[in-house]
Amino acid sequence: MRNFPLSTVVLLLISGVLLPLFFTDTAKAIPAFARKYDMSCTSCHTKPPRLNAFGEAFHMAGYQIPQTKEGELRKKRQIGRIHSEKEFLNIFAMRTTGNILESYSGGKPPESNIAFPREIELYFAGSFTDDISYFFNLSNESKTISGLENGKFEEKAEFGLGKEFFIMFNLAPAKKDMPHKKMGRPMMMGPMIMLGKIDPSTNFSYSTNRQFIIDNPGRVDSSGTIQRYTLTPYAFSAKFFGLSTGDGMAIEVTKSVLYNTPGDFGIDTHTMIGPFMIQAGIMQGISAGTSDVNEKKDPYLMTRMNFGGTNYFSGSVSGLVYWGNDTAKVGTELIDWLRYGFAGNVKYKLLDIYGAIIWDKISGLAASDAAQFDDTAMGLTLEADLLLTDQHLVSLRYDHMEAGGFNIQKANGRVLTLQVRKYLRDNFALFLRDSVNVGSVSDNPLQNFRNLVAAGIDFDF
Amino acid sequence: MHLNKMQMKKWGLFVFVTLLFITAQVGSQEMDHSKMNMDDTSTSEAAPDMKTEDNAMSVMRGKMIYDMSCFLCHGKNGEGDGPASRFIGPYSHPRPNRFTSGVFKFRSTESGELPMLTDLMRTIREGIPGYMPSFRNLGEDGIKDVALYITEAFIQEELPTTTTIKYAKHVGPYTYSAESAWRGGLLYKIMKCNECHGDDGKAGRMDLKDDRQIMVHPIDLTRQETFGNGTSHEDIYRTIMTGLDGTPMPGYADSFVGEEESAWDLVHFILSLQGR
C-alpha cells in the first residue's frame, strides 16, 4: 500500500468515481442468486446485500420461496428426496467489495491510500432437500486486524472459511401438507436450525452481515500498536478497551463480537409464529482469537415482532439477551459478558430506517482490575437508506459508543457517515463515503481522525 | 483461517452430524412424486369444477398461503402495496398487480375483461420472469386455492369461464416457416408494432407509461427472458390477441377477426427475431 498526497487522491476520486456517474448506461439486471429463480436482485434486496421483506421471508424459509418447498425443481436433478442443481451458477455467487481510495485527515498521521478492494467472498448456497439448506462462504480479506498477545495487533491478509458456513434444517412437521393441516392455528415457519459457523444476528432487526456502509480497515504500526481502529457499526462492537480472548489475543475495541459476530461456531434455532420470531442458540464464544479455550459456551435469546404489510410499509422490533460465559479475559482473569439490547427497522416505500442499541456489562473482574476498569459499555447505530432512483442509493449512519474498559485507555466514539452509491448495474455499485468524527479528536485509536473520505466498489455476481 | 486440533474435532463432529441427519431424512420419508412431477400443459388450462362448499375451504387455504407469501408484494389487501413491492419496480414498471383494480395483464379473455381462473392459475404457476417466482410447487390444488382466494377477497366478481377470443389452430401454412415469418414481418410494420418495439424489436420508446403513470418500457422482442406472459408460441399468440391491460400494449384480436390464423405469422416473426 502506498501513500499519496491528498490532492492526488481527490483527483483520482473525481476522475475515477464521479465522472462515471454522469456517463454510464442504464442499469440492467444481472442476477446472482436470482439466476435460479429468474428474479431480479431487487425482488429480495433493497439493493444487495440488504434484504427487503420478501428477501427476509426467503431467508427465513431456508433460501426457498415461502410456502413452495424448493422453488425451482425444474432446474434440479432429483434422487429420491435429494436434489442438486443442474447449473453450478445457480448455487454460486461472488461478492467483492472494498475501498479503492481512502483518505484520513485530522488525525496522526493523516494518510491517503490506494487499495485493492479489501474483500472477496465466494458463496455456495441452496438446498439439498425440501428441508435442508446450506450456505458456504469462502473469503479473502486483503487487510484485517488481528489481535496478538500483550495487547498488540497485526495487519494481515486472511483467506479461508468465511463469515458463515452452515447447514440449515427446517423442522416444520409434514411440510408438504402445509398449510392445509394448520388451518385455525397461527401461521408458522420453522423451527429452523442453523448449525456451523453462523452469524445469529442475521435474524435481528438490524443484522451485522448486511451493511451498505462497509467496515473501514484500521491501522497498526510496525511495533504492533494500533493507531486507528476499524470503523464498524458501534452497536455491534466489543466496546471494551483491554480485553483479550480466552487464549490471550487482544480484542479490537470495534470488532463485531458475541451475537453480532461475523461468524462463529454454534447452533441456532429460530421459529416464526404469526408475526413473532423466537430465536435461541449457543455459540462457542469470541471469535477474535483461535479458540475459546475454556470450552464454555454462550447462550442467547432473541425475540422479534414483525408488523405492517400494506401501504408499502413494514417493520420489526427485536430484543436480545446474550450471556458470554467465561468468554474473554481481562488481564489473566476470565470474565463473563452480558450483552443485551434492542433493534428496530421500518421500511416505507423506498426508505429503510434501522438501528440498534446494545449494552454490555462485564463481571468477574479480578479485584486488582475492578477499580480501574469500567465494566459497562453502550453502542448505538442508526442508519437510513433511501433509494433515490433505480441507480442511486443514499445512506446516512450514526455510530455512538460509550466505551468501557481500562480507564486509562478508554475513550468514546461518535461518527457520522454519509454515503452515496451509484449502481452502474443492479449488481455493480460505486460508492463514495464521508465519515466524520463528530466527537473529540485525539491520539486514542478510536478518535484518531476527523474525516475519512473513501471511494470503492461493491460487485456481486 | 487455520484450524487447531480442537476445531478440527468440532468440524469433524459437525460434518458427521450433518451427514447423519441427511441420511435419516432421506431414509425416513418418500418423495411425493405425484406433486413434484406436475404436467404443466395438461392441467393448466383445465377449467375448475369446484363445488360451493369446497370453494369455501379452498378459499381459506388460499388465504393462508397468501398471507404467508403473496402479501409481501401484493399487500394484505390485494392493493399491490406489500412491503417488498416498491423494490421490484422502484421507479419503473412492473409493480405487483392491484387485484382490487380489476385490471389484469395476463389473460386469455378480451381486453378490459377479467381473467379466467385458469389465467390466474397460470400466472401463479409460471411466475413472471424477472419479477415473480414460479409457485408451481404449491401443487395444482394450492395454486387453485390461491387463485380462488384472490378472486373472492379482492376481485369480488365472478370470473368468466369462456372467452370470445378465437384461438386459431397452429396448423397448415401457419406452422413455423421462413415464409410465415416473412409475412409476419410485413404485419409487424402494417400494424405499427415497430412504433413501440422498434424496427429491430429491441424496444426503442422510452416515453410510455402504464395506467398507474409509471414508466414502462416495451419489451425487447429479441430477448425471450423478458416475456412476462410466457415464451411459448401459444403464449405469444395470446399476448398479441389479448394485449396487456394496464399497459400501452393493446389487444389485436379485433384486427385479426376472420383471419386469426395470420396472427401466427406475427408470432413466427417475433420468434425469428430471437433466432428460434
Side-chain-facing half-sphere of A343: CA atoms under 13 Å: 31
* Per-range mean pLDDT, top range of A50-64, A101-115, A252-266, B4-18: A252-266
What is the reported pLDDT for A184?
54
A62 in reach of chain B (CB within 8 A): no
∠ CA A21-A27-A31, nearest 5°, is: 130
Split at pLDDT 50, 70, 90, the class of B11 is: low
What is the reported pLDDT for B16?
52
CA distance B54 to chain A (A): 13
Of A37, A80, A161, the CB nearest to B1: A161
**How remote is the C-alpha of A380 from its chain's centroid?**
15
Report yes or no: A161 and A141 within 8 Å, Cβ to Cβ: no
* Residue of chain A whose alpha carbon sits nearest to that of B78: A310
Q: What are phi and psi of A272, to 5 degrees?
A: -110, 120
Report yes or no: B207 and B242 within 8 Å, Cβ to Cβ: no
CA distance B173 to chain A (A): 34
As given in the structure block, the three cell numbers for residue B204 are 426503442
Report yes or no: A238 and A253 within 8 Å, Cβ to Cβ: yes
Q: How far apart are CA A385 and CA A79, in angstroms?
A: 44
What mean pLDDT comes out for the span B27-56? 46
Q: How far apart are CA A188 and CA B116, in angstroms?
A: 32
Inspect the interface and report whether the beta carbons of B135 and A182 lie closer than 8 Å: no
Between A53 and A141, residue with greater pLDDT: A53
∠ CA A270-A359-A381, nearest 5°, is: 80
What is the reported pLDDT for B7?
58
Between B40 and A192, residue with greater pLDDT: A192
Nearest CA to A305 out of A288, A319, A287 is that of A319
Q: What count of CB pairs under 8 Å joins A to B?
A: 167
As given in the structure block, the three cell numbers for residue A441 are 479528536
> What secondary structure does DSSP assign to B202-234, as a single string?
S------B-TTS-B-----TT-GGG-TT-SSHH
Which residue intervals of A2-132 are DSSP H helices?
6-13, 19-22, 34-37, 53-60
In a 10 Å sphere around its CB, with 0-12 CB exposed, 13-18 middle and 19+ buried, how is residue A28 labelled? exposed
Contacts of A52 in chain B (CB under 8 A): 83-84, 87
Quickly count helices (H) and strands (E) in chain B: 12, 0
Nearest CA to A423 out of A93, A47, A12, A100 is that of A47
Q: How far apart are CA A26 and CA A389, in angstroms?
A: 11
The 3-class secondary structure across B113-129, one letter per residue, is CCCCHHHHHHHHHHCEC
Mean pLDDT across chain B? 81
CA distance A39 to chain B (A): 4
Q: Which CATH number fits domain B44-155: 1.10.10.1100, 1.10.760.10, 1.10.132.20, 2.60.40.420?
A: 1.10.760.10
A363 in reach of chain B (CB within 8 A): no
**Helix, strand, or coil (residue B15):** helix
* CB-based contacts of B51, cutoff 8 Å, min separation 6: none
What mean pLDDT comes out for the span A350-358? 95
As given in the structure block, the three cell numbers for residue B55 are 370453494
First CA to last CA across chain A, in angstroms? 27
Between A148 and B31, residue with greater pLDDT: A148
Place of cell 463485531: A256
Mean pLDDT across chain A? 83
∠ CA B116-B117-B121, nearest 5°, is: 120
Of B77, B84, B137, the CB nearest to A54: B84
* CB-based contacts of A166, cutoff 8 Å, min separation 6: A134, A135, A194, A195, A196, A197, A198
CA distance B243 to chain A (A): 23
Contacts of A183 in chain B (CB under 8 A): 60-61, 64
Contacts of A58 in chain B (CB under 8 A): none
Q: How far apart are CA B243 and CA A337, in angstroms?
A: 64
Inspect the interface and report whether the beta carbons of B133 and A132 lie closer than 8 Å: no
pLDDT digits (tens, 9 = 90+) for A315-349: 999 999 999 988 899 988 899 999 999 999 999 99
Lowest mean pLDDT among A69-73, B107-111, B181-185: A69-73
CB atoms within 10 A of CB A19: 11
pLDDT digits (tens, 9 = 90+) for B62-106: 998 898 889 999 999 999 999 888 888 777 778 899 999 999 999
Side-chain-facing half-sphere of A406: CA atoms under 13 Å: 14
pLDDT at B176 over 60: yes
pLDDT digits (tens, 9 = 90+) for B194-228: 999 999 998 778 888 998 888 888 889 998 888 88
Q: Are strands A240-241 and A404-406 parallel, antiparallel or unpaired?
A: parallel
Between B47 and B137, residue with greater pLDDT: B137
CA distance A369 to chain B (A): 31
Nearest CA to A48 out of A69, A60, A33 is that of A33
Q: How far apart are CA A350 and CA B87, in angstroms?
A: 7
Best mutation target among B26, B137, B206 (most A Cβ atoms within 10 Å) is B137
Split at pLDDT 50, 70, 90, the class of A110 is: confident
User: What DSSP state is assigned to residue B90?
Assistant: S
Inspect the interface and report whether the beta carbons of A187 and B14 lie closer than 8 Å: no
Split at pLDDT 50, 70, 90, the class of A294 is: low
Inspect the interface and report whether the beta carbons of B75 and A182 lie closer than 8 Å: no
* Residue of chain B whose alpha carbon sits nearest to that of A387: B90
Lowest mean pLDDT among A80-84, A169-173, A218-222, B153-157: A80-84
Of B36, B64, B75, the CB nearest to A183: B64
Split at pLDDT 50, 70, 90, the class of B20 is: very low
Cα Rg of chain A, angstroms: 22
Quickly count helices (H) and strands (E) in chain A: 5, 27
Contacts of B22 in chain A (CB under 8 A): 82, 128-129, 132
Q: What are phi and psi of B125, to 5 degrees?
A: -70, -45
Q: Are strands A82-85 and A76-79 parallel, antiparallel or unpaired?
A: antiparallel
**Range(s) for CATH 1.10.760.10 in chain B?**
44-155, 172-273
Inspect the interface and report whether the beta carbons of A310 and B22 lie closer than 8 Å: no
B40 in reach of chain A (CB within 8 A): no
What mean pLDDT comes out for the span B112-125? 95
Split at pLDDT 50, 70, 90, the class of A285 is: confident
What is the residue type of A276?
A: F
Q: How far apart are CA A297 and CA A245, in angstroms?
A: 14
CA distance A5 to chain B (A): 35
pLDDT digits (tens, 9 = 90+) for A257-271: 999 888 888 999 999
ipTM score here? 0.78
A52 in reach of chain B (CB within 8 A): yes
Inspect the interface and report whether the beta carbons of A57 and B31 lie closer than 8 Å: no
Domains and CATH numbers, chain A: 6-460 (2.40.160.10)
Q: How far apart are CA A203 and CA A192, in angstroms?
A: 12
Inspect the interface and report whether the beta carbons of B18 and A195 lie closer than 8 Å: yes
Report yes or no: A450 and A435 within 8 Å, Cβ to Cβ: no
* Residue of chain B whose alpha carbon sits nearest to that of A288: B1
First CA to last CA across chain B, in angstroms? 50
Phi-psi region of A365 (alpha: psi -120 to 50; beta: other; left: phi over 0): beta
**Helix, strand, or coil (residue A3):** strand
A38 in reach of chain B (CB within 8 A): yes
Lowest mean pLDDT among A184-188, A240-244, A252-256: A184-188
* Per-range mean pLDDT, top range of A391-405, B30-44, B63-77: A391-405
Q: How far apart are CA A356 and CA A344, in angstroms?
A: 6
User: What is the percentage of chain B residues whose pLDDT exceeds 90?
Assistant: 44
> What secondary structure does DSSP assign to A386-421, as a single string?
EEEETTEEEEEEEEEEE-EEETTT---EEEEEEEEE
* Residue of chain A whose alpha carbon sits nearest to that of B22: A132
Inspect the interface and report whether the beta carbons of B31 and A43 lie closer than 8 Å: no
Residues 214-273 on A with a CB inside 8 Å of B are 265
Inspect the interface and report whether the beta carbons of A189 and B68 lie closer than 8 Å: yes
Report yes or no: A324 and A330 within 8 Å, Cβ to Cβ: no
CATH superfamily, domain B172-273, is Cytochrome c-like domain (1.10.760.10)
As given in the structure block, the three cell numbers for residue B275 are 433466432
Between A27 and B243, residue with greater pLDDT: B243
What is the reported pLDDT for B244?
94
pLDDT at B42 over 70: no
What is the reported pLDDT for B43?
39
pLDDT digits (tens, 9 = 90+) for A8-63: 454 445 444 444 443 333 333 334 567 777 788 888 888 888 998 888 888 887 77
Of A46, A291, A311, the CB nearest to B87: A46
Report yes or no: A48 and A34 within 8 Å, Cβ to Cβ: no
Split at pLDDT 50, 70, 90, the class of A292 is: low
Contacts of B125 in chain A (CB under 8 A): none
B21 in reach of chain A (CB within 8 A): yes
pLDDT digits (tens, 9 = 90+) for A359-373: 999 999 999 999 999
Nearest CA to A166 out of B15, B66, B90 is that of B15
Split at pLDDT 50, 70, 90, the class of A70 is: low
B54 in reach of chain A (CB within 8 A): no
> What secondary structure does DSSP assign to A280-311, as a single string?
EEEE----SSS--TT---EEEEEEEEEEE-ST
What mean pLDDT comes out for the span A200-219? 90
